[in-house]
Structure 1
Amino acid sequence: MKKLILTFISVFYIGCVFAQTPATSKPGPETVVIKRRLTDSVVERFNVLKNNKGIRQGLYQALYQKNYALASGYYDNDKRTGVWHFFDNRGHLVQNFDYKINQVTYEAPEDSTSNLQYFVDVKLNDTAKTTKPVKVGGRFFGYLPYLNLFKLPPDLMNLNPNVSFGAVELLISPLGRLASFKVHVYSGQFEKTFNMSIHVPDPADKIFVPATVNGEPVSCRVFIKCAFRNDGGLEFY
């Protein structure tokens, strides 16, 4: 059946919920701050236990170009807790996720300026009600892990940046699982596809809220248009 692009109105849940730090009469464990660069433009800052730096504890933030928050929330014994807030690269709130109930509580409407497109192998009529697949972390921070897993091989590093771009293609199953992961490279008339492993480092990056058509879960392909950095890595276009 013909692939049709899904058009979405606002879906999921209403309202924004803001995280609160639980009151306590006891001092928390002693922590130290760690800073780490995720991409050329994204830096994360988080607290870890002073006596075990492998355990995250307390506030986590990811910042875009040092000016805009991309993610903000709290860890408790290396597990995300409470409500986390996720933003786009212009500082607009795009998603709230409540880890207490393990549910998206707010998903911002998506418009034509988005770098993400969605396709299903289902013929849609004018009355079809559709929802897109949703990744915890929102439409920017949530998809960074897939972009970070690819770099151009040495033989393609000389591609003309003025006519070159990439596209990450993710196939999400009706069960909300990552079923296929590809990266397409385009440069003028040149095109090459790289099949990536779906066994991504973080198991959470294999899990989505699946797309639906008339309330029934369906498989859906997510395409993310990307630019190439000087080092051959991908960034949002």
Structure 2
Amino acid sequence: MLKVITLFIALLFYFNTGFAQETVVRKHRLTDQVTERISVLKSDKSTRQGLYQAVTEKDIAVASGSFDHDKKTGLWHFYDPQGQLLQNYDYTKKALLFEAPEDTTSNLRYFVDKTLTDTDRTAKPVKAGGRYFGYIPYLKMFKLPEDLMGISRAASYVAIELLVSPGGRLADFKVHLFSGLNYHKVFNMSTDMPNEEDKIFIPATVNGDPIGCRIMIKCWINNDGGLELP
């Protein structure tokens, strides 16, 4: 029995030393307001492994979860910049576990090409990552052209327009720039997002049937010409 126990301990030590992978934490500014704290392999700093957090300048977490060999795994939590829980999403099961109610103060609006009645049962499209962190990749895709950098920030705003197909994929991506009383310029953006998961949504439904839906997201323009969610 002693030999068996000794052999088991030796094997356990082998597996722990052979497969445990040392990590380090890297910081990366995601937006002007949000910084990522990413655990990566010490031997390969391009591979995310272990804990992840995205925090505001006030050190409030807007996203927390874990990576396993560069893939999101398990339960992730997503918050607004005030620390209110917006969403729980299980990336292993690909399951939405919680989505906070959305009211008229939200910066997102949803539109379907269908006349709705009072009896229709509707469900909006949902982005894994929640209504704040989940849309940051779209904000990062746009920057004011050089010839518009002088535009008044106080008199201007941007609306991101996303078309989500009934199959839950990004079908169209536009950016609308509004300034003053009459200025309106539309930028047609590529739908080829850097990460495939950024193109995936839980689609909108009407009476249980998937339907295409446009999402409009109001944003502000920062001093560098990038976009921020209010």
TM-score normalised by the chain length of structure 2: 0.90
Correspondent of 2:27 among 14, 17, 35: 35
Contact 1:73 1:83 (8 Å CA) reproduced: yes
Residue 178 (structure 1) aligned with residue 167 (structure 2): no
Q: C-alpha separation between the residues in 1 aligned to 2:153 and 2:36?
A: 28
Q: Post-superposition shift, 1:160?
A: 1.5
Considering only aligned residues, what root-mean-square deviation do their CA atoms show, in Å?
1.1
Corresponding residue for 1:20? none
User: Which structure 1 residue ranges, 4+ long, deviate > 3 Å from structure 2?
Assistant: 25-28
**Structure 1 residues 39-118: aligned runs within 5 Å:** 39-118=31-110
Residue 233 (structure 1) aligned with residue 226 (structure 2): yes
Amino acid at match of 1:61: Q
Q: C-alpha separation between the residues in 1 aligned to 2:72 and 2:199?
A: 17
Per-residue deviation, residues 62-88 of structure 1 (Å, max 9, x unmatched) = 001242111100111111111011111
Q: C-alpha separation between the residues in 2 aligned to 1:112 and 1:234?
A: 21
Structure (1 or 2) with the greater helix fraction: 2
Corresponding residue for 1:210? 203
Corresponding residue for 2:123? 131
Q: C-alpha separation between the residues in 1 aligned to 2:159 and 2:149?
A: 16
Corresponding residue for 1:19? none
Report the secondary structure of 2:154's partner residue: coil
Per-residue deviation, residues 77-119 of structure 1 (Å, max 9, x unmatched) = 1111110111111111111111221111111111111110000
Deviates further, 119-128 or 65-74: 65-74
Q: Post-superposition shift, 1:152?
A: 0.6
Per-residue deviation, residues 193-220 of structure 1 (Å, max 9, x unmatched) = 0000000111111110000000000000
Residue 141 (structure 1) aligned with residue 133 (structure 2): yes
Q: C-alpha separation between the residues in 2 aligned to 1:200 and 1:144?
A: 12
Amino acid at match of 1:191: H
Identity %: 59
Largest Rg, 1 or 2: 2
Contact 1:43 1:66 (8 Å CA) reproduced: no
Q: C-alpha separation between the residues in 2 aligned to 1:69 and 1:26?
A: 31
Q: C-alpha separation between the residues in 2 aligned to 1:175 and 1:132?
A: 13
Q: Which segments of 5 or more consecutive residues in structure 2 lack a partner in the other structure?
A: 1-14
Q: C-alpha separation between the residues in 2 aligned to 1:165 and 1:145?
A: 18
Q: C-alpha separation between the residues in 1 aligned to 2:213 and 2:76?
A: 26
TM-score normalised by the chain length of structure 1: 0.87
Amino acid at match of 2:67: Y
Q: Which segments of 5 or more consecutive residues in structure 1 lack a partner in the other structure?
A: 1-24
Q: Post-superposition shift, 1:26?
A: 3.5
Report the secondary structure of 1:152's partner residue: coil
Corresponding residue for 1:4? none
Q: C-alpha separation between the residues in 2 aligned to 1:171 and 1:29?
A: 41
Q: C-alpha separation between the residues in 1 aligned to 2:23 and 2:201?
A: 32
Amino acid at match of 1:234: L
Larger RCO (CA under 8 A, 6+ residues apart): 1
